[in-house]
Every structure is written in C-alpha cells, then in structure tokens.
Amino acid sequence: MEQELPPSDLSRDGGRPPGASVSLTSLEKRYGPVTAVAGVSLEIRSGEFLTLLGPSGSGKTTTLMMIAGFETPSSGDIAIDGASVVAKPPYRRNIGMVFQNYALFPHLTVEENIGFPLKQRGVPKAERTRLVGEVLELMQLPGYGGRYPRQLSGGQQQRIAVARAIVFKPRLLLLDEPLGALDKQLREDLQIEMRRLHAELGITFVLVTHDQDEALTMSDRIAVMNHGGVAQIGQPEDLYDRPCDRFVAGFIGQSNFLPAVVCGVEGDTVVTKCQGVLVRAVTSQRFAIGTEVTVTTRPERLRFSDQHAEAARPLNRMNVTVAEAVFAGERCRYLLKSDGGASMVLKEASSATVRLRAVGERAEIAWPVADTILV
C-alpha cells in the first residue's frame, strides 16, 4: 500500500501539507428504483470544515460513503485534489474515517488500535510507536496506550477513534455522526474539541450529522441536504439568518411561520398583511401585489415591546395573548396566540430583572424588520 507519512509532526505548525479539496460533480446513487443521492454537485475547499446536514434519508451518509469509497456512484464523479477517485478502492484514497460506533478492535490495546493503519502501511515499529505517542498527546490522552477500549469512557473511545483516523496523516477526514452516541454535555464539550483539532491539523474535515446545533457550532460551511440533493449551502450564520426556503428555515433552528399577502414594496422591503397587521420583511426577491407568502422569524428575535432595547431599528409589531409560559433555566419560552389566531414562539433570556409572563396575559411583541424574511 501507499505510504504517505511525512516525517513532520501532526500539527499545522509541523509543516503538514494543506487539506485536500474535494469536488463532487452530478453525483448520483440509485438502489433499484430508489434514488438516494440525486445529482449532487459540491466543491469542498482545502482545509475547511464542511458539514452535510439533513434528516434521515436525505442522502448525506450515502454521499459521505461514496467519497470514502465504500459506495460506488451510479453516475457522476468524485475528485480529490483535481484527480478522479471513483475507480480507486478506499485504501488507495488516503482518507481518514471516523464512525458513530468508533469501530475499535476490542482485543487490541489503545496503542495497537491507533497503530493499526500504520502497520497496514508497512510503517516500522519504532516509527509507529513515535507516531502513536504523538497523536495521543494531540488528543490529550498521553499514557493511555496500554489500555483496552472497554477500560475507556465513551468520550475517550471517540478520541481514540479520531486518533486512529489521523495517525497516518491523511489530508481528508470523514466523520459519520461521530458524537451521536454521547450524552448532551459530553457531546457539546467534544464539539469544541473537534474545532480545536481541525484548527491544529489544518486538514479538510467533512462531517455528517442530523444535529443542527452540532453543525452550527463546528462548521465553516454547511450543506443542508433534502431528498437526495443540496437545498442550500453557506456559512452557519448565513443559513440561520437567510434560509432559502421553508425546509431550511424549519430544519436549522426553530422558526415561526405566518401566512401573509404582499400588499406593497418599499425599496428592498416587502410590506405584507399578516394576522391583521402590516409586517415588513427584507428580501432580494420580487413579489407581485396580492402574492401569498410565508413570513418567518426566529423565536429569539421576538421581544415583548416593554423589553425591546433596539427601538432605533425598524420594528414589526403585533398584539398577542400568552397561551403557555415555560421557565427553562437560562431561557423563558412562550407560546403566543396572535389576534389573527396564529401560534408563535418567543424565547428570551431569563433574568432576575425580567418577569415571567402569565398565561392569558395580553401583550405586544416586536421584532426587527431585518430579522423578518419571506420563504
């Protein structure tokens, strides 16, 4: 097998080459009459952290498996650093891979597990020992080489799985739901750890997940997948603040959706009639008067008018009744009913100076026009 192991250390500062670029062109995967991936074209930049995010059945894992070489495309092409790899078996692609269940060998020690891909590549024992020790330091697990997987916590096993995937110094690391088996707090801690690791290594990470918070926390860019295709791709803040359609708005975070009718245009602002009041939204699209649209805004962008601190910005306003009030520690969550009968969710940071609203209480809410979009 090919041996691509420069004598440098595992960090970016050690002179490692940059991460690999990946190009997917009209990629399709069909299983009989079922199309799992439907013509995906995607450019993954050298050294970036890109996440394939979507619900079950959206095609994200199948796409990752085709990049890895474990699935063969029905049509289309996969190029790494400009060279097609469709005809190459997985072991010839020099790609690191981390699975949700870690796939550690239970009968091998940590050192033997991590060193396995090096042994497969014919790396001498002394060099294997050096590289394993180096990667254990990077994963903040020095001294764990003699333990067995059963003697490790879930978080430690995940770190060992990552260590095994990067010890042979790939320029591309694929991660298939790597944090899915961990509890919430550990998962959040390891999200930050994975960001640190990506920054240190400087290689390309491609992550598959259905967890929106995980994608927003870890990614440079996110490709939201649905029905085998890419619905939208962009930086986390772009997708969150400017989703291209209702699916993306509803899948990334939580959104309020209100039916409305276009009744005017003011520059780059569309004026709608929504729940009996005028609601303005910023959009680059053009709508004819009378067009039925959907107005959306995030629950945390809504405020009760007496708590709104951004009066200098143009605001939308609406009268509501509190239908449900939930104190959830750092946040209070309200289910509101507009006078037009629509349900809305408002979230605000809890504080000793902010009172909890009572069920049945009448109130006015306000939110910035800039945070109101049409989908």
Instruction: Give the residue-averaged pLDDT of 113-137.
Output: 93
Instruction: Record the tokens describing residue 214, joined without a space.
Output: 């995980």
- The model's pTM is 0.88
CA atoms of 255 and 361, how far apart (whole Å): 23
pLDDT confidence of residue 5: 44
Residue pLDDT, tens place only, 22-65: 999 999 999 999 999 999 999 999 999 999 999 999 999 999 99
Beta bridge partners of 206: 50, 174
Helix, coil or strand: residue 275? coil
Return the H-helix or E-strand segment holding 215: helix 212-218
pLDDT at 354: 78
- Does domain 12-246 sit in CATH 3.40.50.300? yes
Residue type, 204: T
For CATH 3.40.50.300, list the domain ranges present in the chain: 12-246
CATH superfamily of 254-374: Nucleic acid-binding proteins (2.40.50.140)
Per the listing, tokens 């306003």 go with 317
The pLDDT score that the predictor gives to residue 225 is 97
* pLDDT one-digit tens code per residue, 165-218: 999 999 999 999 888 767 788 888 888 888 999 999 999 999 999 999 999 999
Q: Return the pLDDT at 308.
A: 56
- pLDDT digit string (tens) for 231-240? 999 999 999 9
The whole-angstrom separation of Cα 66 and Cα 59 is 11
Give the model confidence (pLDDT) of 238-289 as tens digits: 999 999 999 999 999 899 999 999 999 988 899 999 999 999 998 878 889 9
With contact defined as beta carbons under 8 Å apart, do 66 and 85 qualify? no
Does residue 344 surpass a pLDDT of 60? yes
Residue ranges of the chain that CATH labels 2.40.50.140: 254-374
Tell me: pLDDT of 299 over 90: yes
Note the pLDDT tens digit of each residue in 284-296.
788 899 999 999 9
How far apart, in whole angstroms, are the C-alpha atoms of residue 125 and residue 275? 72
pLDDT of residue 342: 93
Cα 64-193-199 angle, rounded to 5 deg: 75
pLDDT value of position 6: 41
For residues 260 and 271, the answer to whether their CB atoms sit within 8 Å is no
Q: Roughly how many angstroms between the first and final C-alpha of the chain, as a whole number?
A: 51
CB-based contact 51:195 (threshold 8 Å)? no
Whether the predicted pLDDT of 369 surpasses 60:
yes
